[in-house]
Structures are given as C-alpha cells and as structure tokens.
A and B are shown apart, each in its own frame.
Chain A
Amino acid sequence: MTEEKPTRVLIAKPGLDGHDRGAKVVALGLRDAGFEVIYTGIRQTPEMIVHAAVQEDVDVMGLSCLSGAHKTLFPKVVELLRQSGRQDVLVIGGGIIPEDDVPLLMERGVQAIFPSGTLISRIADYIRDKVQR
C-alpha cells in the first residue's frame, strides 16, 4: 500500500530571514507526495543543518532562503556535507533566487533551484527521478 522505504528529505532554512511560509508549503507538499520530511525550523546555521542531515541520514536536502544570502549559505552547506562524508546527499534550493545566481549555485554543488511559483509536483518528480532510480 504505502512505499516500503520512504525517501527522507530535510527541509531547512539557513540564515537569518524568518520567512518560512515557502519552506512549510514545500514540506507539507512533499509529505503529501509520500516523503518523510524533517523540518528543522528557521534561523539555522549551515553547521546545524548538516549536523541534522547526517544524524537523520537524509537522501535529500532542500534549502530555502529569502534573505539574499543564498550565494554564501547554499555552497557552505554543500561544502560541509562533503566534509562530513555525505556528498551523496541531493541538495536542492528554493526561495528568492535571482536567475543570474543559478549557474554559480549549480557550479558550487547545488543540484537544482526551484524558484517561487514552482509546482510541488515538479519538485517531487525531480526527487523521485534522482533518488529512487
């Protein structure tokens, strides 16, 4: 009936902005798509996020940032994941991310950016495709 081994996704908000509506919408949407979503709330440092990702043994990490600090914070998370030996985690991002910044983020190891307005089903399909091959 239900999936035997649900994919685990951490939804995290690095940085200082408190706008968590988007992150919550995505967390709920992915829950409804059958994922196990770990939500850790606002104002997280990259260290806290990666620490949680390691302990929770997640397959996917979704980062949300609306403060403009994504160019610093997202790559930092990717780097810390690598240092922790979890470079296999699929890192995706969302929030207010200018198109011009996307290539840099991809270059630094973020696998995909889903800007505001993205259908949740697109994110869910993307994750299934990447993780559940």
Chain B
Amino acid sequence: MKRRQSATQLAERMLAGDSLALPRLISLVEGESAAVAEIMRRIAPHTGRAYCVGVTGPPGAGKSTVVDKLTVLMRQRGLSVGIVAVDPSSPFTGGALLGDRIRMQQHYLDPGVFIRSMATRGSHGGLPGTVQGVIKLLDASGRDVILVETVGVGQTELDVVNTADVVIVVVTPESGDAVQAMKAGLFEIADIFAINKADREGAQRMKAELEAILAMKPGESIAVVLTEAHRGVGIEELYQELERYRRAQEENGELERRRRHRRREEFLELLQRRIRRRFLDFADKDGQLKALTEQVVAGELDPYSACARVLGDRHWLDKWLSQEGPALSEAEG
C-alpha cells in the first residue's frame, strides 16, 4: 500500500538518482502493479537513449560469464551498465532459483553497474513478460547499455528478438553441427555468434561450418567470434563486433526499424497478457464457467464445443468485460 501511493514520487526519486528507488520501481513493474502506467508515463521522456544487448543461448553455454566480461570492457570505456538476468520460474510452484549473480560478483562496489535477477513468472519465451518495462526503467535511470540475459533456451524461446537492439547467441562447440545451424529458431535470431568454451574440441570446425551456412544468407554479415569467457579470451573481439553492428544499424536505419517493430510487439503483448489475466480471474469466479469447465473435466463435453459456447455467448462476454477489473490490482492490497 505504501508502495502504491508513492509510485510517482519513486519515479521522481529514481530520476534524481536515488539508489533505492530503482529496485522498488522494478518490483512494481515486475508485479504488474496498478501504478505501472503512471510510472511509464513519468519516465517516458527519459527513455530511448540506452542500447539494449540481448544475450541468449542454451543452458550452461556461459551467458552469465559473457555478460560479466562484456560489462568489464564497457566500464573501462566509461559506459554505465544495467543487467537483467533471467532464470526460469517453476511451472508447478511458481518458485525460482536465480543464480546468475554468482558469475557477476566483481562489480558490486561499482555504482556504474546495476544487476537485477528476474524470474520468468509464467512466460515461456525465455524472458518475463514485464522485461520491457524493466528495461525502460534502467534506460530512464541513465544506463548507457543494458544487457539482457535470457534463461537457457532451447530452439524456440525467442522473446529476446523483440526485446533487444542486438542479439548475441552464445553456444558451445557441443551445440551441434551445420544442420542445427540451418534450422529455424535460435540460430536464426543471432546478430552475432559467440562460440564459447572455444578451448574445447570442435570450436574451429563449428566456426567454419557456421560461417559457411551464414554465407548463404545474402546481404547479412553475421560475425562468429570464438570466446573463452571465463578467461576473458575473445571478449574484446566480441565487443568490437557489437560496436561495429551498432554503427551499421544506426547508419542504415535498422535500429529505428527494429525499435518501431518492438513498440508494436510490446503493445500487442501487453494487451494479450492483460486480457488473459482478466479472463483467468473471471474464470476463477464465474459459476457458469466453472460448471462448464467441470463438464469438460468429466469428459462430458469436448473443449472445442465448450470454447465455442463461451465465445459465442454475447451475454457472457459482456459479463466478463464489465466485471470490476481485478486485473491490475494486486499491488493495491
């Protein structure tokens, strides 16, 4: 309650550089508090400056370590850094173990580095649905670069594409052969590849195969960098590729195109999420809908027919839409 009342002041305090305000605001955004819209309106004039780097790849590839080492280089160049490190929420309990900070210990005395761990909280695309809002907060707080580390992904958790200005895909020499690289999904979204743990067997071969595949895509130049992140090897080169990519992106208008696309995606995503949440809440309370669900559970009614019945019932939809909106209210409690 205390937090809800002070959302606007919190935003003011954050913009004034108060170090406690940013973490609190992130919690409000992450918890989808009713104050989010107000917070976003307040900080909007201060956003759009930061460059957002997405780092994704399979579990254990070394994403956190790459992020940590890139942060060192960025700090040496005087850039302030915000890091969002995501780990999965349990689909069973909602709990999560967030362990990415372990690899990022060296920055704790540096006020130029802000690290926040996030759990996916029911989202399945590798990033929580609220990450975009958190990135905006970091942006408004004056971070030059924001590094977003996804959960360890498989082939299709690709939210990061609609989140970052550039995507680094971190893989290891064991991540697969040329055919893997030809498949849709993870290998398709990289703007830059880092083959990490490159001291292991097969790194050179993988680089050659990847480059051969990438050469088949005309008009794009996607760099493949060999790294041994834990020793800092190849990180300077990776950083150079980032810089090169960013310059090209700014010159050819690709950055703005990407950001426009992102705004659209964010809006539609947000609408979906809110509608879904409002509906689930309704489904929880509405007796008629519960009874229908019971019929489906008992096998008496197939889900398709049940669905048609719900969506075909104007009265029902009106009831749903006109209910007191609980969808945004949990932070008011």
Which residues in A have some Cβ–Cβ distance to B below 8 Å? Answer: 1-6, 8, 27-28, 30-41, 44, 47-48, 51-52, 54-57, 84-86
Interface status of B279 (Cβ within 8 A of chain A): no
Contact A6 B105 (CB under 8 A): no
Main secondary structure of the interface of A (DSSP, over half): mixed
Contact A27 B97 (CB under 8 A): yes
Query: For the complex, what is the distance from the CA of A55 to the CA of B98, rounded to whole Å?
Result: 13
B152 CB to nearest A CB, Å: 16
Please name all residues of chain B whose beta carbon is closer than 8 Å to the beta carbon of A52 when the two chains form the complex.
101, 108, 115
Query: For the complex, what is the distance from the CA of A13 to the CA of B115, rounded to whole Å?
Result: 19
Contact B95 A33 (CB under 8 A): yes
How many contacts A-B (CB < 8 Å)? 91
Please name all residues of chain B whose beta carbon is closer than 8 Å to the beta carbon of A35 when the two chains form the complex.
95
Query: For the complex, what is the distance from the CA of A6 to the CA of B98, rounded to whole Å?
Result: 13
Please name all residues of chain B whose beta carbon is closer than 8 Å to the beta carbon of A48 when the two chains form the complex.
105, 108
- Indicate whether A31 sits within 8 Å of B116 (C-beta atoms), given known contacts A5-B331, A48-B105, A52-B101: no
- Indicate whether A36 sits within 8 Å of B20 (C-beta atoms), given known contacts A6-B119, A41-B105, A57-B26: no
Contact A55 B330 (CB under 8 A): no
Please list 16 pairs of residues, one from A and one from B, whose beta carbons are closer than 8 Å in the complex, sorted by A's number.
A4-B32, A5-B331, A8-B27, A30-B95, A31-B95, A31-B97, A35-B95, A38-B99, A39-B99, A39-B101, A39-B102, A41-B105, A54-B23, A55-B23, A57-B26, A57-B27
B107 nearest CB neighbor, chain A only: A51
The interface bits of chain B over 93-117 (1 if a CB of A lies within 8 angstroms of the residue's CB, else 0) are 1111111011001001100001111
Interface status of B122 (Cβ within 8 A of chain A): yes
Contact B23 A37 (CB under 8 A): no
Interface status of B288 (Cβ within 8 A of chain A): no
A85 CB to nearest B CB, Å: 5
Query: For the complex, what is the distance from the CA of A52 to the CA of B99, rounded to whole Å?
Result: 12
Please name all residues of chain A whose beta carbon is closer than 8 Å to the beta carbon of B90 when the two chains form the complex.
31-32, 34
Contact B116 A5 (CB under 8 A): no
Interface status of B80 (Cβ within 8 A of chain A): no
Query: For the complex, what is the distance from the CA of A30 to the CA of B97, rounded to whole Å?
Result: 9
Q: Which of B20, B26, B101, B119 contacts A40 (CB 8 A)?
A: B101
Interface status of B24 (Cβ within 8 A of chain A): yes
Contact A36 B105 (CB under 8 A): no
Query: For the complex, what is the distance from the CA of A77 to the CA of B254, rounded to whole Å?
Result: 48
Name the interface residues of B249-298: CB closer than 8 Å to any CB of A: 280
Name the interface residues of B100-148: CB closer than 8 Å to any CB of A: 101-102, 105, 108-109, 114-117, 119, 121-122
Contact B101 A6 (CB under 8 A): no
Please name all residues of chain B whose beta carbon is closer than 8 Å to the beta carbon of A86 when the two chains form the complex.
20
Contact B93 A2 (CB under 8 A): yes
A116 CB to nearest B CB, Å: 21
